[in-house]
A and B are shown apart, each in its own frame.
Chain A
């Protein structure tokens, strides 16, 4: 049987990162292979078809559906403005005509003679896709998007909210186990990607929104604070579209938990450097974790390995791991033993386990499902 393992999250000082930037439907690609782009440059754009506004014209004109196409004042395909007359009834002997005004601006898409419905198509909505990271365009994906490549420092979080954000890295907590409080956030942090330490408090988040901080990255968040921020209890971990005025990334999990020292050290070492953050998280059907991407100034030749997704590996003695469930949630250590036979847990269940030598010297037995590799 293959060894059991859990893919960890990437925390890497240098990795060859490829950002695959796709339009929601086909459109125009504004870059070519070989172009150098900045993170906020538009690489592809398209127009989403406008919204449809239906009008029950036969009811509005009090006529039979089959008469509707003949009563339109403008032909199908013509432009129409909101409140502009769109159709008129024949009236009685040419008198008492009823005129109906359009309820939307757009073009007349169709007029049905079987239902009497008229459809107005609104103006197309432009959609633009940015590069997300600075770098070189290495592939153009037909008319759907482009791939941008660069060597970056990459940190994947475990959970986030909010969409893409850009700004320089600023450090608010100098220690990874320091709680991010409102008092640590100052006016010069406006527009930055702010690195905290342990749990970010609700007061700190509110202060950051007030000051215009682009994003916060910290070890943990309390569920009660998240609920207070969103205004509702988050039921399913599909995020990224929240509009709360800031992007949040949690690197470890919910509760009072310190950021892994290595993660904090890496982020702090890039203070002042431009970075891109995406809080979008999806833990179903194609896992997506939030990311902090820091393009490196010196594009290295050859020594960076491909990245951009969760890195998988196998457990072996000495592998650094993090325990991801109580009673030792968040504890870091190394694999000390990998017993072959399943063991009976405190819950009464039987499961394959491993022994972990924790950083504080304790040696504990945990189910293999409850550890995460700390991947480079």
Chain B
């Protein structure tokens, strides 16, 4: 099945989402790979169609109409090129999928903060939604854990626990809770529930005995936490992908045909996004955060110093979950981002109406301002959850000196650092379809609070899943399309870290760009936008107590990238606080004006 990359010049890629199947055409134009056309059609996994390939054929047929290149055979399958100079067909067809709710898993580990957390990381990294994490110390009594396991209907279960050569009893106990609870799989009675065991190798015989009774399909892989100091998530992740293809996909309507059509294994959509972000971080040697905010969930991906993490905030989204965002954040937190007069009772009803009719879009300026305020809180909460999850390994013994005794640095520090972040990539309806790019940049800055220098970009048409799977068959093509067509550069944010006071200077700056230059002093609580074109040279001198990356008060000179928005100077300090009441509303209005969010 693997093709010689040099023979691949035309690629059709689809992403079968829960509601829409998105197809793109990638062609090698003058020696460079470009995304040339895109099309979409409703996904056809659910009744009455119950065959995912119908939606794929429809989307690729539209691609065919737009491109003028014949891509679909008469029987609906994807047409392949017969020779290098053939005008019709493609050289490779690839796909990702999150239809039917994606991959849903339950994970279990002995200690919540250690093996259970590593297991969760493996499942999330593979693109799964983790329905629950069972651990010996999760504060639930055994019968409550059993009850919970019985309620869930996962696609598969991942069990970890114990370091190799360590205690076997605890992890066997976990298995003994799961086996008699007999979790019922989502896909009906004939399906043997896959159990992946990635724990202490000495416990394997006991685990095999425990799941010997019918109804389970046990797969044993290398321990994902062989020692406390080391995670080994690769084997578990690969097995999750295999089981996803063999079991979950095979039971979803039409996927047997889709798997046969594709030239590379079908990947869960978020898994593919994670792969492309890791490739970019590695290729450019940078730290990246990516976010995809959807109607129901928000995915956050990060790569810091080569460590990849992904979290799914299951009930933070802009339509199905909008009500939950308001409930979790509190309406006051949402309304602090609104500079217009709004009636809270009326807003509460509007939120619920959006929840029950999730496909509607804001028609008025007021509705847009409110929806973008909700998105700031959804993103902020998702990022808080991500930072708490993306940590150094917990449970690792640390060598301390006498000096450390006073620093009180605890283990399991978050790997995510606002100051070390180089690139923040946005995707998802509310960010991608904002009427003005300035609004997208503003939502990102308010929610993620980047510090120092951070580039902001958006995924133009949510192409990252396609490129993640493309990277598995043709890495260069994936990189070229990512840089040229996938990312839309918004600009760069410079935000000094420190406590800002309104009216007091935060930093002095001077910038030069093609056709212009400017300089000034940024004051506390001030925002400033410079339209710099593609690039600018800037010198920043932070005031005492403020840091832009080189240390408090230390000057930084560097080149920055502009984009469709430009260079944003953020003098609000970190952490960001918005005063309550009229003062807060006045400030938010001044920031909106400075960033030209609503020019009319």
Q: Which residues of A contact B (CB under 8 A)?
A: 1, 6, 24-26, 49, 51-54, 65, 109-110, 112, 114-115, 117, 119, 121, 158-159, 222-224, 226, 232-237, 253-255, 281, 283-286, 324-327, 329, 345-351, 366-367, 369-370, 372
Contacts and interface: CB of A to CB of B under 8 A. Distances in A.
A224 B433 CA distance: 31
B366 to A, nearest CB: 8
A117 B65 CA distance: 64
B363 A370 contact: yes
B352 A254 contact: yes
B363 A110 contact: no
B284 interface: no
B357 A115 contact: no
Nearest to A371: B360
A26 B189 CA distance: 8
A358 B170 CA distance: 67
B370 to A, nearest CB: 10
Interface in B81-128: 100-101
B320 A325 contact: no
A369 to B, nearest CB: 5
B586 interface: no
B177 interface: yes
A114 B172 contact: yes
Interface stretch (B179-187, B461-469, B487-495, B505-513): B179-187
A158 B356 CA distance: 7
Given A285-B101, A367-B363, 15 more contacts: A109-B180, A114-B209, A222-B349, A233-B323, A236-B355, A253-B356, A255-B353, A286-B46, A325-B357, A325-B360, A326-B350, A326-B363, A348-B600, A349-B362, A349-B435
Interface of B: 18, 46, 62, 100-101, 142-143, 146-147, 168-169, 172-173, 176-177, 180-182, 184, 189, 206, 209, 296, 315, 320-321, 323-324, 326-328, 345-346, 348-365, 367-368, 433-436, 598, 600
A49 B181 CA distance: 9
A49 B184 CA distance: 12
A253 B363 contact: no
B534 to A, nearest CB: 25
Contact of B368 (A223, A254, A347): A347
Contacts of A372: 357
Contacts of B363: 325-327, 345-347, 366-367, 370
Contacts of B315: 235-236
Contacts of B348: 223-224, 254
B433 A349 contact: yes
B356 A52 contact: no
A121 B353 contact: no
Nearest to A142: B189
A347 B356 contact: no
A285 B296 CA distance: 10
Contacts of B351: 223
Given A54-B143, A254-B353, A25 B327 contact: no
B323 A326 contact: no
Given A51-B147, A348-B436, A117 B176 contact: yes
A158 B357 CA distance: 8
B598 to A, nearest CB: 8
B361 A52 contact: no
25 contacts: A65-B169, A110-B180, A114-B168, A114-B209, A115-B173, A115-B176, A224-B345, A226-B352, A235-B315, A235-B323, A237-B320, A254-B348, A255-B346, A283-B320, A283-B355, A284-B296, A285-B100, A286-B46, A324-B360, A327-B364, A345-B362, A345-B364, A348-B436, A349-B368, A372-B357
